Amino acid sequence: MKKIFLTFFLTAIFFFQIDNVCQAQKTKAPGTKKVLIQTAMGDILLKLYNETPLHRDNFIKLVNEKYLDSTLFHRVIKAFMIQGGDPDSKHAIAGSMLGNGGPSYTIPAEFRKSLFHKKGALAAAREGDQVNPAKASSGSQFYIVQGKVWKLEELNMFAKQSGKTFSPEQIKAYTTIGGTPHLDDNYTVFGEIISGWEVLDKIAAVACDKNNRPLVDIRMKVTMK
């Protein structure tokens, strides 16, 4: 009887400890972080993915340090993307070429098959493969995808030519809301738009110079929500 009672007692302790561990893990699990980008053309609310913690935490650090405040969307290409985050853009004179600024560090790539370049995706810019074969991300420059809606036959042809394979989720997104599938597995996607889709489209439609810099500055203020 004592042995049976002892076994039951130890088993109860074991499950109590397991339950405490599970509860602790739930407590420690990060919630979804949200970021608000405010511009004169409207606001864009984004969520950051927990699946890309290095990029998530770096972006939160930049926001909290107000590093991105007063930077411009300095590169805009309709049906492709809008790019910002260059600290050199804060005081740049009209017409100057931008896109080389940032902190002294890069962020290791965090490619995830489930995170791709659908319309509204938030991703990290980077230097080209010839000088950056590891595809490490810029410490501060980012872009938001506009892209285009693909016909299924177009996407299939692109997949055949490029050797890429697309999941059902990717196919659905690219043929309905659109995106830029050729960037997948080349640039880290670390968030997406929650609201402000119309602002993305408005910014993407502005007139630009030969370097794709908007003729009228689009300055941003970025805060955590």
Q: Do both 111 and 153 map to the same domain?
A: yes
- Give the residue-averaged pLDDT of 135-151: 98
**Which residue range forms the structural domain that includes residue 15?**
1-29
Are 157 and 100 within one domain?
Answer: yes
Residues 134 and 24 grouped into a single domain? no
* Banded pLDDT at 146 (limits 50, 70, 90): very high
| Residue 9 sits in the same domain as residue 53 | no
What pLDDT is attached to residue 8? 41
Could you give the CA distance from residue 137 to residue 16 in angstroms, rounded to a whole number? 44
Q: How confident is the model at residue 14 (pLDDT cuts 50, 70, 90)?
A: very low
CATH for 73: 2.40.100.10
Q: Which pLDDT belongs to residue 15?
A: 42
Q: Residue 104 half-sphere exposure, CB side, CA atoms within 13 Å? A: 0
Give how far the C-alpha of residue 164 lies from the chain's centroid of Cα atoms, to the nearest Å: 21
Report the pLDDT value the prediction gives residue 116, as an integer from 0 to 100.
Answer: 98
In this model, does residue 174 exceed pLDDT 80?
yes
Residues 77 and 179 in one domain: yes
Task: Give the helix/strand (H/E) hosting 44.
Answer: strand 42-48
Q: What mean pLDDT, rounded, does the chain reach?
A: 90
DSSP per residue over 104-144, as a string? S-EE-----TTS--BTTEEEE----TTT-TT-PEESS-EEE
Q: Please, which residues have CB within 8 angstroms of residue 6's CB and are 6 or more apart in sequence?
A: none
CA atoms of 132 and 6, how far apart (whole Å): 61
pLDDT band at 29 (very low <50, low <70, confident <90, very high): low
pLDDT at 3: 42
Predicted pLDDT at 21: 40
Instruction: Say yes or no to pLDDT of 178 above 50.
Output: yes
Nearest-CA neighbor of 53 among 177, 191, 176?
191
Mean pLDDT of 77-81: 98
Interval 180-196: pLDDT, tens: 999 999 999 999 999 99
| Same domain, yes or no: 1 and 61 | no
Tokens, residue 14:
């074991």
- The closest alpha carbon to 204, from 218, 190, 221, belongs to 218
The helix (run of H) or strand (run of E) holding residue 46 is strand 42-48
16 and 91 fall within a common domain? no
Whether residues 21 and 1 share a domain: the answer is: yes
pLDDT digits (tens, 9 = 90+) for 94-131: 989 999 999 999 999 999 999 999 999 999 999 999 99
Is the pLDDT score of 24 beyond 60? no
The number of folded domains in the chain is 2
Residues 128, 115 share a domain: yes
More confident residue, 24 or 92: 92
pTM of the model: 0.86
Q: Are residues 16 and 38 in the same domain?
A: no
Q: Let me know whether 141 and 50 are in one domain.
A: yes
- Pair (12, 35) in one structural domain: no
